[in-house]
């Protein structure tokens, strides 16, 4: 695997900080220590004056020690180590002093054990749009009860436009699956924004595309159709979309579309039943609901840097508003801002 181009990442971070005019001076922040490109969040925050606590725990991807060692090494390279402390245990002191607690990786779930210790003016930036929130990641009901802001990022905001990375992402996935796109035929199963961008992208690249917004009813299948690939692109649908008890079954596929490939962009499929029936699918991993099979970091560091800088900017804005406004006054101010999406 090619190593990260740290000089480019440094330039992208500097550009993004300047673009969003990010200034976290005198603010205290809790985020994750992480490996890969996700080391950037404490670096960006520390670069703009925040006092950062970088928390790590053992995960299926890496150990807490590895995450801390990796992020510490990067902090040295980016000259931000003086503004970052590392921990494997979040104390009440850490939480009660934090102005910002990020909805990222190791910090989650942000539940009663964290929210109950937060000060009323603290903010939780979500780093995604409100509809993308996974129910188990954050207790939004308790946040509202305590009048703590959980603030989403409008990924279509004119100054961000990060959701548009969906276009190159689906193209890269299709190329990885040995599909040419041009002159291909695609059936898209989707009820959300991902499907809209994918349909437009593939049509603009010479493909024949049919998009179907589905529900719990079976699909209207036609043996005269053929599809080079069936793309599953529904982030929040909770049930199995393709599987023995899905909207589309392996038997349906074998009967109607025996030469198709299943592309799992987002949405639940029964990958075991597809394997058992020798139906090709990509990527060859198990993806639960409320997950993308490949996230924007699959493209490169730029979308992650932009999204995380923008997410920190939403936190900066709301923190500053809460210093001088009531909860209700802050709500009215947030509604006027293009980059913030308040979670109600």
CA angle 205, 207, 212 (to 5 degrees): 115
Q: Helices 302-324 and 327-334 sit at what angle, rounded to 10 degrees?
A: 140
Residues 255-293: tens digit of each pLDDT: 999 999 999 999 999 999 999 999 999 999 999 899 999
Cα(205)–Cα(308) distance, integer angstroms: 30
* Maximum C-alpha span of the chain: 65
The per-residue pLDDT for 151 is 96
Q: Reply yes or no on whether the pLDDT at 342 is more than 80.
A: no
Residues 25-80: tens digit of each pLDDT: 999 999 999 999 999 999 999 999 999 999 999 988 899 999 999 999 999 999 99
Q: Are 89 and 58 in contact (CB under 8 A)?
A: no
Cα(145)–Cα(45) distance, integer angstroms: 28
Q: What percent of the chain has pLDDT over 70?
A: 98
Region 87-113: mean pLDDT is 97
The per-residue pLDDT for 19 is 98
Of 80, 65, 77, 1, give the one whose Cα is nearest residue 33: 65
Helix, strand or coil for residue 240?
Answer: strand
Q: What percent of the chain has pLDDT over 90?
A: 90
The per-residue pLDDT for 182 is 98
Tokens of 3: 């190593």
Average pLDDT, the chain: 95
83-121 b/e with 16+ CB inside 10 Å = b? bbebeeebeeebbebbbbbbbbbbbbebeeebbebbeeb
Residue 218 or 92, more confident = 92
- The DSSP output letter for 125 is E
The per-residue pLDDT for 3 is 87
Please report the DSSP string for 137-192 in residue order.
TB-HHHHHHTT-EEEEE-TT-TTT-GGGGHHHHHHHHHHHTT---TT-EEEEE-SS
Q: Are 104 and 59 in contact (CB under 8 A)?
A: no
Q: Are 293 and 234 in contact (CB under 8 A)?
A: no
Residues 152-205: tens digit of each pLDDT: 999 999 999 999 999 999 999 999 999 999 999 999 999 999 999 999 999 999
Q: How many CB atoms lie within 10 A of CB 36?
A: 15
Cα(187)–Cα(240) distance, integer angstroms: 17
Residues 287-334: tens digit of each pLDDT: 989 999 999 999 999 999 999 999 999 999 999 999 999 999 999 999
Of 167, 256, 164, 173, give the one whose Cα is nearest residue 219: 256
253 CA to centre of own chain:
30
Neighbouring-strand partners of residue 232: 189, 264
Q: Are strands 340-342 and 149-153 parallel, antiparallel or unpaired?
A: antiparallel
* Structural domains present in the chain: 6-153+301-342 (3.40.50.720), 164-298 (3.40.50.720)
């Amino acid at each position: 695997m090619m190593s990260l181009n740290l000089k480019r990442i440094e330039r992208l971070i500097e550009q993004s900080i300047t673009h969003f005019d990010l200034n976290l001076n005198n603010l205290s922040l809790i985020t994750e220590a992480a490996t890969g490109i996700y080391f950037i969040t404490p670096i960006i925050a520390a670069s703009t004056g925040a006092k950062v606590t970088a928390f790590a725990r053992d995960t299926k991807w890496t150990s807490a020690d590895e995450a801390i060692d990796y992020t510490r090494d990067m902090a040295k390279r980016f000259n931000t180590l003086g503004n970052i402390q590392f921990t494997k245990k979040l104390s009440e002191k850490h939480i009660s002093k934090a102005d910002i607690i990020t909805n990222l990786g190791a910090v989650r779930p942000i539940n009663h054990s964290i929210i109950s210790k937060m000060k009323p003016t603290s903010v939780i930036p979500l780093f995604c749009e409100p509809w993308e929130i996974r129910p188990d990641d954050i207790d939004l009901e308790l946040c509202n009860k305590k009048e703590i802001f959980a603030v989403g990022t409008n990924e279509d905001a004119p100054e961000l436009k990060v959701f548009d990375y969906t276009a190159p992402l689906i193209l890269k996935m299709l190329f990885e699956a040995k599909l040419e796109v041009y002159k291909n035929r695609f059936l898209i199963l989707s009820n959300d924004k991902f499907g809209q961008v994918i349909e437009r992208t593939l049509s603009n690249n010479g493909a024949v595309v049919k998009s179907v917004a589905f529900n719990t009813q079976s699909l209207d299948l036609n043996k005269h159709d053929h599809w080079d690939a069936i793309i599953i692109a529904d982030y929040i649908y909770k049930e199995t979309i393709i599987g023995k008890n899905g909207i589309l079954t392996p038997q349906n596929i074998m009967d109607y579309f025996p030469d198709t490939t299943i592309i799992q962009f987002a949405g639940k499929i029964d990958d075991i039943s597809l394997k058992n029936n020798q139906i090709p699918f990509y990527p060859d991993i198990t993806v639960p609901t409320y997950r993308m099979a490949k996230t924007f970091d699959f493209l490169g560091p730029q979308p992650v840097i932009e999204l995380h800088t923008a997410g920190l900017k939403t936190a900066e804005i709301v923190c500053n508003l809460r210093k001088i406004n009531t909860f209700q006054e802050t709500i009215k101010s947030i509604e006027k801002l293009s980059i913030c999406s308040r979670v109600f």
